[in-house]
Amino acid sequence: MYTKISNPSIEIYNGETNERIGTATFSLTTQAEKELLRLLNYGIPPASLPVLDLNLSQPEKSYVPPEPFHAYERRGTIYATVTDAYTGRLQPVEIQMTYDARARGNLTGDLYHFDSAEFNNIKIESVKVIY
């Protein structure tokens, strides 16, 4: 049983062309952390994942910033560290999925930062806990 998720990031690919977009770090909302813990603990896929402070790093040269509120088909792997409830041990996880991404806000105007985003239409391909 896992109780906490920390240090999430995602390797992002264009869902239509399979071209790499980049790697992003983000903060999980309370709802998103609960949804991912339900996936890890009970195998229940999340309906949506709202995230905060998404920062894209290492973007490909072909990167074009998304339009806010427009859905984009994506494929990605979430990397994070989970806390084991019984031992307190930290373990890395990888979650491969396809999803639709929507940028919700970008108040700074930075092309690589989004104040919030949401992943919907999530289809989990694999979940790996690395021991």
pLDDT tens profile 17-51: 999 999 999 999 999 999 999 999 999 999 999 99
What six digits make up the tokens of 64?
A: 């074009």
Question: 7: phi > 0 → left, psi -120 to 50 → alpha, else beta; which?
Answer: left
Domain containing 76: what range?
2-129
Say what the pTM is: 0.93
Is residue 99 pLDDT above 80, yes or no? yes
Terminal CA-CA length for the chain:
14
Q: Is the pLDDT of residue 107 over 70?
A: no
Instruction: Domain count for the chain, please give it.
Output: 1
